[in-house]
């Protein structure tokens, strides 16, 4: 009985993954123009070296939101 349930679950997951692979829809196609512009701006800033480490970003967030 337990193996049947595991097989059923595995088959359901395989079917879902197969559908996702078949559609080959790029999630980026669903982004708004505003978000695309913000992402492009961020990429330009990163190329110019205007970046901070993840550790520093977390510190800033904790300070700002008193976490």
pTM for the structure as a whole: 0.47
11 vs 52: CA distance, rounded Å: 44
Confidence (pLDDT) at 24: 64
16 vs 10: CA distance, rounded Å: 10
pLDDT along the chain (67 residues), means of 10: 80 81 70 92 94 93 87
User: How distant is the alpha carbon of residue 58 from its chain centre?
Assistant: 18
Q: Which residues lie closer than 8 Å to 67 by C-beta, 6 or more apart?
A: 61
Tokens of 41: 């701006």
Q: Measure the CA dihedral 17/19/25/27, to 10°.
A: -40
């Amino acid at each position: 009985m337990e193996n049947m349930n595991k097989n059923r679950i595995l088959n359901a997951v395989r079917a879902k993954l197969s559908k996702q692979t078949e559609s080959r829809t790029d999630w980026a196609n669903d982004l708004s123009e505003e978000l695309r512009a913000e992402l492009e701006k961020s990429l330009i800033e990163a190329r110019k070296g205007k970046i901070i480490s993840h550790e520093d970003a977390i510190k800033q967030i904790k300070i700002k939101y008193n976490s």
